Amino acid sequence: MDIHEVLEYLPHRYPFLLIDRVLSCEPGKNIVALKNVTINEPFFGGHFPNHPVMPGVLIIEAMAQAAAILTFKTAGGKADSNSVYYFVGIDNARFKKPVTPGDSLRLHATIERTIRGIWKFKTEARVEDVLVAEANLMCTIRSMKDEQAKST
């Protein structure tokens, strides 16, 4: 999937879109996506000015965006203005090595199970073949109309 198709499956836009390309996707099973990390990323100005490192929470977010594409591909839908993709839980997050400008972050997400609208994934982020981060993520898709009805 090129960036144009990625934009069909994710509601995120610059500066929060963290997927540049999908390298492979097997609906119902797994996905491998790519984030090219450049010095132009808006967070590098402050994290850290003399030693730019991609924040761990953004690596987790990138893995979740890959998982979101896999979820939509598996469920046969696309992101739209009436739905939102939420984190439900993040477990066992580990950061093994810093991610810096010039790295190509390869994001892997595998569906472990789906129960009552909650999707559980095993995710990894790699630079070349080196594991830089991993986490178990739980996410769900919710209708914006349902969310608005709950708040009134």
Q: Which H or E element spans position 117?
A: none
Predicted pLDDT of residue 73: 95
Is 51 annotated in the active site? no
DSSP strand pairing (21-26 vs 130-143):
unpaired
CATH of the domain at 58: 3.10.129.10
Number of domains in the chain: 1
Residue 79 confidence class, pLDDT cut points 50, 70, 90: confident
Residue 78 has pLDDT above 90, yes or no: no
Cβ partners under 8 Å of residue 60, min gap 6:
90, 93, 133, 135, 137
Predicted pLDDT of residue 82: 82
Residue among 14, 59, 55 nearest 33 (CA): 59
In this prediction the pTM is 0.93
Q: CA 151 to CA 32: how far, in whole Å?
A: 36
Q: Domain of 51? A: 3-151
Q: Determine which one of 12, 47, 51, 108 is catalytic.
A: 47
pLDDT in tens, 90-135: 999 999 999 999 999 999 999 999 999 999 999 999 999 999 999 9
pLDDT in tens, 36-71: 999 999 999 999 989 999 999 999 999 999 999 999
User: Is residue 60 classed as helix, strand or coil in its secondary structure?
Assistant: helix
pLDDT in tens, 6-45: 999 998 999 999 999 999 999 999 999 999 999 999 999 9
